[in-house]
Amino acid sequence: MERRLTAVLAADVVGYSRLMGADEAGTLDALSKLRSEFIDGKIAEHQGRLVKLTGDGLLLEFPSVVNAVRCAAEIQCGMRDRNANLPPEKRIEFRIGVNLGDVIVQDEDIFGDGVNVAARLESIAKPGGITISGSVRELVGNRLDLVFDDMGEQKLKNIEQPVRVYSLSQEESTIANTAPNRDQRPSIAVLPFSNMSGDPEQEYFSDGITEDIITDLSKVSGLWVAARNTVFTYKGKLATVEQIARELGVAYILEGSVRKAGARVRVTGQLTSTKDGGNLWADRFDRDLTDIFAIQDEITHAIVAQLKVKLLPQEAESIGQDPTDNVEAYTYYLRGRDFLHRRSKHYCRIARQMFAKAVALDPNYARAYAGMADCDSFLYLNYRVDVPIDALLATTEKALSLDNTLPEAHASRGHALAAARRYPEANAEFEKAIALDPNLFEAYYGYARASFAEGQLEQAARLFERASQLRRDDYQSVCLLIHIYRSLGRLADCKDAARRGIELAEKELSSHPDDPRPAHLGAGALFELGEMERAREWISRALAIDPDDPLTLYNVACGLTKLRDYDQAFALLERAIAGGGPELVNWVKYDSDLDGLRNDARYPALLARVNELFPDTK
């Protein structure tokens, strides 16, 4: 039996029964959205772990009491901001308790007095408040700019000994200062630049400019820069400078806009201090499109100068190295990256065409080679497109030979090696990519799929969780977690992932109605929650969009298995396997959605068919 000392955070929704009684569906949707958009990010930010959901609350553990209290304070502060413009009956508020204690570890759960005290501390907190034990208060000391009121010793229900309790004084605490710029470097968030071109199709270009400025600023050792996937959660949302500063813990914010018209581009930028809202720098660049890299360099150097940060010679050299000297190739690359993010057969083929055009225009464009390899890996694994493995590996080798420090190239190499079923080598490449860029979504997502293919479900779950935290709009990681959680017996997590998956898939389907993937993955989430009729509608929609897509056929078969239409499920699985790639083999073997078929006499024949088509996957 494993025991350990850990910081435990228990949170509970105030008035949960009242909220559910007034609007059950609306409350569940609001809680799911709250977790995906805000709370999950805070947990990850402070290195916490979600132990379990408890219906009206959650249980977390942290590696230190400072992390736990900082996370609690930022959650409560963020909740006050979110509730500010809501009527009282619609507000969601938490009580939070934090304790340091000994716990018993069993599978993924924790038990014992350490947990029980945290739960009792939560129960005596005020709505929107935080109570902590004396041991937590002692260890936090003066490390956080927070003020605590001594409540004295309290007799807590079912706790034998009285516990010294402290409550957070919200009026006297500066919670904004607890956010995560954990050193003395100037901290900055680059918000997504607005697309002012009047054409939604140009969104890829403004997003690409934003990402490249973040990349350049991240090369400056004297700056702390908020990650790309964190700041993109604010895309298209109204948020004040004060709110962003509080949630991200940054001292400065860079905003801007991009207008691309023909061979001309206009880029504006504005640097704001979050301390007083003062405008520190602003400029407008009206240039030829060929000057786009020079504009990015000028913006980066202007920020460095305004924040009085020393730029080391090697950093200046790295920032000055353009990814390509061909702006047309750069434009094709940005288009390809935008299409690849959608991860469907249709868009992946388009993405590959974009990357190939970029390489044709600039044969030394490392990122474009990595993009081509990613497309080939996806198409081979899922659709058995005739891509020789040797050629795929050669493409990744070319990318790395051009830039061995490019994290995307190492991630692409990992994808290719996983396609070749060389998993130890693939995992090593994913680890290299993450070491170079700890916020690279593609590395975590690919690593998760490779782990699943090896049957390493717990590791796959952790990696998919991290991927979904990095890209908050990614419905695929969340929907794939449903099956993994169920296989691991984490049923509460499974239900929660289903609720979040539906919300995210619905948004993607609205944005890209010609893509069947959010429809058939979302249908699986609906089945998980017992919404059978709605799930049938989504299945019909997926089949209407692309009735021959192997991934669509496979996921529809999973849904039919839940409906106990086994004959049709086997028929669709045969079609899916006939047209799909080797990655489908792993899902047929490990996917808990197919548990209803495994005792059927036809299942061994199905596996034999799989092994006949893919003998290397036995």
Please list the residues that pair with 253 across neighbouring strands.
189, 272
Query: Which CATH superfamily does the domain covering 323-471 fall into?
Result: Tetratricopeptide repeat domain (1.25.40.10)
Counting residues of the chain whose pLDDT is more than 90, the rounded percentage is 44
Q: What is the pLDDT of residue 403?
A: 92
Lowest mean pLDDT among 214-228, 359-373, 540-554: 214-228
In this prediction, residue 295 carries a pLDDT of 92
Q: Concatenate the DSSP letters of all residues of 507-557 into one string.
A: HHHHH-TT-SHHHHHHHHHHHHTT-HHHHHHHHHHHHHH-TT-HHHHHHHH
Using an 8 Å Cβ cutoff, are 46 and 70 in contact?
Answer: yes
Residue with tokens 């995210």: 504
Using one digit for the tens of pLDDT, what is the confidence trace for 490-508?
888 888 899 989 999 998 8
- Helix (H/G/I), strand (E/B), else coil: 605: helix
- The Cβ of residue 8 has, within 10 Å, a number of other Cβ atoms equal to 28
Residues 545-553, mean pLDDT to the nearest whole number: 91
CA angle centred on 524, ends 522 and 530, rounded to 5°: 105
* 3-class secondary-structure state, position 416: helix
Residue 179 is predicted with a pLDDT of 44
The pairing of beta strand 94-106 with beta strand 130-133: parallel
Question: What local confidence, expressed as pLDDT, does residue 80 receive?
Answer: 87
Q: Which residue has the higher pLDDT, 370 or 515?
A: 370
Q: Cα separation of 543 and 564, whole Å?
A: 19
Region 263-278: what's the mean pLDDT?
A: 91
Instruction: Give the residue-averaged pLDDT of 309-327.
Output: 82
Q: What fold does the segment set 2-175 form as a domain? A: Alpha-Beta Plaits (3.30.70)
The pLDDT of residue 180: 44
Mean per-residue pLDDT, 438-452: 89
Query: Which of 137-151, 176-190, 232-246 is least confident?
Result: 176-190
Nearest partner of 616 among 419, 395, 430, judged by Cα: 419
| pLDDT at residue 579 in the model | 87
Work out the average pLDDT over 111-127: 91
Instruction: Tell me the average pLDDT across 273-289.
Output: 90
Nearest-Å Rg of the Cα atoms of the chain is 25
Which residues pair with residue 148 across a beta bridge? 168
What totals of helices (H) and strands (E) does the chain contain, helices first? 27, 14
Calpha distance 356→400 (Å, rounded): 17
Each residue's pLDDT tens digit, 345-362: 888 999 999 999 999 999
Q: Is the pLDDT of residue 176 over 70?
A: no
pLDDT, average across residues 241-245: 81
pLDDT digits (tens, 9 = 90+) for 5-51: 889 999 999 988 888 888 888 888 888 888 888 898 889 888 888 99
How sure is the predictor about 515, in pLDDT bands with cuts at 50, 70 and 90?
confident
pLDDT band at 580 (very low <50, low <70, confident <90, very high): confident
In eight-state DSSP terms, residue 185 is S
The DSSP result for 35-89, as a single string, is: IIIIIHHHHHHTT-EEEEE-SSEEEEEESSHHHHHHHHHHHHHHHHHHHTTS-GG
Closest CA to 193 of 258, 130, 120: 258
Over residues 40-67, the mean pLDDT reads 86
pLDDT digits (tens, 9 = 90+) for 213-240: 998 898 887 888 887 777 887 887 777 8
Average pLDDT of the chain to the nearest whole number: 87
* pLDDT exceeds 70 at position 410: yes
DSSP string, 246-313: HHH--SEEEEEEEEEETTEEEEEEEEEETTT--EEEEEEEEEEGGGHHHHHHHHHHHHHHHTT----H
Per DSSP, 593 falls in state G
Query: For residue 387, what pLDDT band results from cuts at 50, 70 and 90?
Result: confident
CA 341-345-350 angle, to 5 degrees, is 70
Give the three-class secondary structure for 224: strand
b/e per residue 52-87 (b: at least 16 CB within 10 A): bbeebbbbbbbebbbbbbbbbbbbbbbbeebeeeee
pLDDT at 134 (0 to 100): 87
Residue 61, strand partner residues: 8, 49
Structure tokens at 239: 């948020």
Write down the pLDDT at residue 616: 63
Residue-wise pLDDT for 455-486, tens only, equals: 888 899 989 988 887 777 789 999 999 989 88
- Domain range 187-322, CATH class: alpha beta
Q: Is residue 264 within 8 Å of residue 288, measured between CB atoms?
A: yes
What residue segments make up the domains of the chain, in order of their start?
Answer: 2-175, 187-322, 323-471
Give the tokens for residue 365. 């464009």
Residue pair 557/563 in contact (Cβ under 8 Å)? The answer is: no
Q: Is the pLDDT of residue 375 over 90?
A: yes
CB 274 within 8 A of CB 241: yes
CA distance 276 to 242: 9
Cα–Cα distance measured from residue 504 to residue 486, given in angstroms and rounded to the nearest whole number: 20
Specify whether the CB–CB gap between 358 and 330 falls below 8 A: yes
Residues 328-337 have pLDDT tens digits of 999 999 999 8
State the pLDDT at residue 618: 52
